[in-house]
């Protein structure tokens, strides 16, 4: 998956009434929406990240970052435990794609004044079961496997993991506001849907 980067650089954000154009030193501009989603006092200008966001955007990065970290944890085991060269190559692509997305989510959190470790102001209790539920147990189970047995379990678990990510991304597309978050969600849907089909093919061949 490839995250589309924006080159807009914000030099500062003035706390003003809704829909005021803010000029930066680079000549760029950003519109800040008043009310829900307006950056808090902890927010700061971050290059490439628009200041507009809402609760759905916060929920998206708060849930998707640990979800990606779980995928990377599982994919990292494939190098030494997988038998199939195709499974190893897929796992490497998962790591290569999701590491930069985690970095982008960290930038979003900085721009919006969100602490991803605590979830910021996002109410996790309203989300039901965490998308990361079972990831640690799954990684621990994979550590006990090798060869074709690892390949089968890895592909099965990662398929379910990807399906959850796609659903989270669809929610961001329908409910989110921030253009970078929505672009990331679109990329996740496209790339992980393709990887799900690839993993189903590999599973059928085992």
Q: Is residue 48 part of a domain?
A: no
Q: Tell me the two tokens of residue 120.
A: 């910021």
Has residue 165 got a pLDDT over 60?
yes
- Calpha distance 206→194 (Å, rounded): 19
81-93 per-position pLDDT tens digit? 999 999 999 999 9
- Calpha distance 176→16 (Å, rounded): 23
- Calpha distance 204→206 (Å, rounded): 6
Residues 6+ apart with CB under 8 A from 80: none
Are 12 and 29 in contact by the 8 Å Cβ rule? The answer is: no
Structure confidence at residue 132 (pLDDT): 47
Structure confidence at residue 135 (pLDDT): 59
Structure confidence at residue 198 (pLDDT): 98
Locate tokens 């500062």: which residue? 12
Q: Number of structural domains, the chain?
A: 1
pLDDT band of residue 187 (cuts 50, 70, 90) is: very high
24-39 per-position pLDDT tens digit? 333 333 333 433 444 4
Are 206 and 151 in contact by the 8 Å Cβ rule? The answer is: yes
CATH number of 153's domain:
1.20.1260.10
Structure confidence at residue 20 (pLDDT): 29
Q: Is residue 89 part of a domain?
A: yes
Q: Is residue 21 part of a domain?
A: no
Q: Is residue 8 part of a domain?
A: no
Residues of the domain holding 85: 53-205
48-91 per-position pLDDT tens digit? 899 999 999 999 999 999 999 999 999 999 999 999 999 999 99
Q: Is residue 5 part of a domain?
A: no
- Calpha distance 198→177 (Å, rounded): 31
Q: Is residue 25 part of a domain?
A: no
Has residue 126 got a pLDDT over 60?
no
Mean pLDDT score, 13-27: 31
Q: Is residue 24 part of a domain?
A: no
Q: Is residue 137 part of a domain?
A: yes
pTM listed for this prediction: 0.73
DSSP H or E run through 30: strand 29-31
Has residue 163 got a pLDDT over 60?
yes
Has residue 15 got a pLDDT over 60?
no
């Amino acid at each position: 998956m490839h995250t589309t980067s924006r080159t807009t650089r914000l030099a500062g954000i003035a706390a003003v009434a809704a829909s005021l154009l803010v000029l930066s030193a680079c000549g760029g501009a950003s519109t800040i929406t008043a009310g829900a989603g307006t950056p808090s006092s902890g927010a700061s200008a971050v290059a490439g990240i628009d200041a507009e966001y809402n609760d759905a955007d916060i929920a998206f990065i708060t849930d998707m970052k640990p979800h990606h970290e779980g995928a990377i944890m599982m994919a990292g085991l494939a190098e030494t435990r997988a038998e199939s060269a195709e499974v190893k190559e897929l796992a490497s692509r998962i790591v290569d794609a999701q590491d930069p997305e985690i970095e982008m989510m960290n930038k979003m959190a900085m721009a919006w004044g969100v602490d991803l470790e605590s979830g910021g102001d996002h109410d996790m209790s309203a989300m039901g079961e965490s998308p990361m539920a079972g990831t640690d147990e799954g990684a621990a189970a994979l550590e006990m496997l090798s060869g074709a047995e690892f390949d089968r379990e890895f592909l099965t678990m990662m398929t379910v993991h990807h399906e959850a990510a796609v659903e989270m991304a669809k929610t961001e597309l329908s409910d989110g506001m921030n253009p970078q978050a929505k672009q990331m969600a679109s990329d996740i849907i496209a790339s992980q849907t393709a990887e799900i089909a690839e993993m189903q093919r590999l599973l059928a061949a085992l």
